[in-house]
Structure 1
Amino acid sequence: MSDWAPKRFWKSVEIKTVDGGFAVTLDGRNVRTPGKALLAVPTEAMARHIANEWEAQTEKVDPRTMPWTRSANSAIDKLSVQRREVEDHLIGYAGTDLVCYRAESPQGLVERQAQGWDPILDNIEKTFGVRFLTASGVMPVPQAPESLDILRNVMSEMSDFAITGFHDIVTLSGSYLIAVSVTLKAVEPKAAWQLSRIDEDWQIEQWGRDEEADAQAETKREAFMHATHFFTSA
């Protein structure tokens, strides 16, 4: 039964205008979320991506090939009822942010982290007037509550759909500050992903590549790029 998948039953996929946005239809019937809500999204561009995913399904439906649909489902079914909890979870990353924890050695890694991550902290300070503290090693460094409150406010202006993309940018990169930099367009998504991988790339240079680890990293990279695209389309 593990190979079971719903079969494609529709011939036509279309987009229609609805209150507050756009919906996708299959043979004239509205696509709905797993929670049975109307799958309506805020922009036509996002609806087009979703429609393309449904159109691309062949004999059997494969949800793994439908990231836009999955993200929209999450925005509607989960973010709309768990937004406060999601924001609490995400701001927790800022409290222990990747870019604030630096290696003590070797010197090459120390310098690479500083070169990549210091500009992130500098831009956050320039934009929001707060400076996040850094520390070497594993000892925690408490950030000022005021700084966290200011950075939390970034999420208040985001729609549920934007927060859905932002959530994945944060969790996949391990950094709230890198994610904010992406949303501000201070860092391009591809560069942001590389910044989140400084430690891993250093280890690869020292010890060589691992096929399984590379495959996992590529899956995460693709999800990260999708999240940035979903955010900008919201």
Structure 2
Amino acid sequence: MCTTKDPRVLAAAVRPRSLHHLLAPRSPSRFHSSHDRPAKVVPVAGPDSAREARIVRRRKQADMLRLAKNLRAAARAQMAAGPAPQHQSSRTGALLRKRFWKDVHVKEVEGAYEVHLDSRPLRRPDNKEVIRLPLSKPLLAHALALEWDHIMSAAEATKQHLIPLTSLTCRALDIRDDDAGVAPPTPAPVRTTIAATVLRYLDTDSLLCWAPPAADAEPSLRARQEAAARPVVDFLARRVWPAAALVPALDAAAAAAASLVPPALPPATRAAVRAWVLRLGCWELAGLERAVLAGKGLLAAARLVAEWSEHGAGVVRAAEGAARFGVEEAARAASVEVDWQTRRWGEVEDSHDVEKADLRRQLGSVVVLVSGRGKVVDGDRPVQPGLPD
């Protein structure tokens, strides 16, 4: 019930509704309030992987460009400020990357040859003494100079395989100092140690270990071994070790005994060989050691040293017109078996060819070391003064 006394309110309350309102149809009763056309559910898609990868790549490129810009700015600032002082390690590295000499030449100083790097004489690495060579060895002096002229940096000068002739020369000088008693003390004399080392290769020398005879008439390994060994063994038995009996270790007698281990040579033979080794000069002894270790045999090394020794190495005088024994002959005598196998099966590239070149390089250094102008010559061959014909 309306309780207000305002005539306008009372008139509105009793005013009848419009006809349109009364005639409008009523909507049916509904039990839910959802829309008649529900929305379509679409799965939510994630970000585009290709687009995101492009964004990441562009960010990295921007960072790199920013870093390069900063580096260029820092370099310009450093150039404007002048070079910064280098640390000691930086200066040392710069020196090792380049050689500190320009010219290499040989000088005769106080009755000996010296190799000079500009004005600095070449020195031994252990005691820093100047390397002085006899005047009878000009070939060795100039070979040392050529070796150091090929060195491109000070770092290369510390690698033994790049200066093989220098290391061999220093080995000979070490033997000389040890003989004179001016070298640092060692458990055993250097000469005795070298003799024991090279004698280990005598019993198993490839020139004394031959393959069994072949059953067929085709050229065999045994024939090649005999052809390489006979001249060397005959030369050593007649002119170097007359008291030694050099017999093949794996010949018919060893095969009949069914022994896989070669028998040792007679004690008299070993004594004669050892006495000859101990009598060698420092240059010949160092060369013999290098040749034995390079060719893995004593006979070919002794033959090479006896052929080219400046003082003859105790060799009995040779007849005129005898065949020379050089680097190529020594290399072939030391590698008969390898040559036989490679002829049958082929060479391994960068293996057999490298070994061949290295063997000849080392044997060549031996010839340069032991040879000289001070030897007595008969028919252009080395002889020992005072020995009978």
| Structure 1 and Structure 2 fold alike (TM over 0.5) | yes
Flag the 1:66–1:123 CA change in 2: closer, same or farther, 3 A: same
Residue 134 of structure 1 and its aligned partner are, at CA, apart by 1.3
Distance change (3 Å), C-alpha of 1:53 and 1:151: same
2:191 and 2:278 in contact (8 A); partners too: no
For residues 45 and 221 of structure 1, what CA distance do their matches in structure 2 show? Answer: 18
Q: Normalized against structure 2, the TM-score is what?
A: 0.53
Write out aligned runs for 1:89-100 (5 A).
89-100=197-208
What residue in structure 2 maps to residue 102 of structure 1? 210
Determine which of 122, 135, 141 is the counterpart of 2:249. 135
The answer to whether 1:120 aligns with 2:214 is: no
Report how many residues are paired: 231
Q: Which runs of 5+ in 1 are unaligned?
A: none
Distance 1:165 1:183 in 2: 7
Classify 1:213/1:80 alpha carbon distance in 2 versus 1 (closer, same or farther; 3 Å): farther
Q: Distance in 1 between matches of 2:97 and 2:365?
A: 24
SS of equivalent residue, structure 1 residue 25 = strand
- Report how far residue 210 of structure 1 moved: 0.8
Query: Percent same amino acid at aligned positions?
Result: 22
1:136-175 alignment, distance < 5 Å: 136=250, 138-175=260-297
User: Offset of 1:121 from its aligned partner?
Assistant: 1.9
What is aligned with 2:21?
none
1:228 paired residue number = 367
CA contact (8 A) 2:114 2:131 kept: yes
Indicate if the aligned counterparts of 2:140 and 2:368 stay in contact, CA closer than 8 A. no
RMSD over equivalenced CA pairs, Å: 2.6
| Distance verdict in 2 for CA 1:117–1:161, change over 3 Å | same
SS at match of 1:93: coil
Kept after mapping to 2: 8 A contact 1:95/1:148: no
- Would you say the 8 A contact 1:169–1:228 is kept in 2? no
Query: What amino acid maps onto 1:87 in structure 2?
Result: A
From the two aligned structures, give the one with the greater helix fraction: 1
Which has the higher mean CA deviation after the structures are superposed, 74-83 or 95-104? 74-83
Counterpart AA for 1:28: S
- 2:116 alignment partner, SS class: strand
Higher relative contact order (CA 8 A, sep 6+): 1
Preserved CA contact (<8 Å) 1:13 1:27: yes
CA contact 2:175–2:282 (8 Å) conserved in 1: no
Q: CA deviation at 1:71?
A: 1.5
Task: Tell me, yes or no, if the aligned pair for 1:46 and 1:230 is still in contact at 8 Å.
Answer: yes
Q: Deviation digits for residues 13-59 of structure 1, max 9, x if unmatched?
A: 33333467322222322211110222122233312211222233335
* Local SS of the residue matching 2:304: helix
Q: Equivalents in 1 of 2:203, 2:110: separation in Å? A: 39
Matched, 1:16 2:128: no
Which of the two has higher C-alpha Rg?
Answer: 2
Q: Whole-Å Cα distance in 2 between the matches of residues 204 and 13 of structure 1?
A: 41
Displacement of 1:117 in angstroms is: 0.8
C-alpha distance 40-194 of structure 1, shift in aligned 2 (>3 A): same
Determine the structure 1 residue equivalent to 2:139: 45
